[in-house]
Amino acid sequence: MDMSGRRFLLLATIAILIVALVVLVMVNIVDVGTTVHAALSTISLIFYFCFFVMGFGPIPNILCAEIFPTTVRGICIAICAFTSWIGDIIVTYTLPVMLNSIGLAGVFGIYAVFLYPSSCICIHEGAGDKRHAPRGHHRVLLCWSKAS
């Protein structure tokens, strides 16, 4: 992670997560046969899981530990963790309702739509050697904006 940079990992993994979700949507919309449907669904889910664990899963937690000053870091990490758990609970409890109302393709489509804005928010790592950037030297930017 330190060698390739957090920004690259986030952008690369988000793009693959979106592609995996789009493949899952298309497989559920288009009739491709049961064997192809099962194979593409399994491969897409494996890719989604592997790339989520590689980048988009751990990096927000790492950044929370790095962007806050030492004096408030503990409470800020607790707030970030609480927010993350609330989001997990919302997804967990709304999934069955959404499956019954809009189906599997609709659910994956909504997840892909909500994941896309994440690709527009990037992390600007401190100037110089990224592996030794001082704590608190990360900034959140829009991808298309220039870092100063």
Residue type, position 69, single letter: P
* In the chain, where the domains are located: 6-125+135-142
Would you call 68 helix, strand, or coil by DSSP? coil
pLDDT for 145: 47
Largest CA distance in the chain: 58
Read off the tokens for 95: 């999934």
Residues 55, 10: contact at Cβ < 8 Å?
yes
Band of residue 104 on the pLDDT scale cut at 50, 70, 90: confident
Threshold 0.95, pTM exceeds: no
Give the percent of the chain with pLDDT over 70: 77
34-73 confidence digits (pLDDT tens): 999 999 999 999 999 999 898 888 877 887 777 888 888 8
CATH code of the region 6-125+135-142: 1.20.1250.20
Residues 7, 125: contact at Cβ < 8 Å?
yes
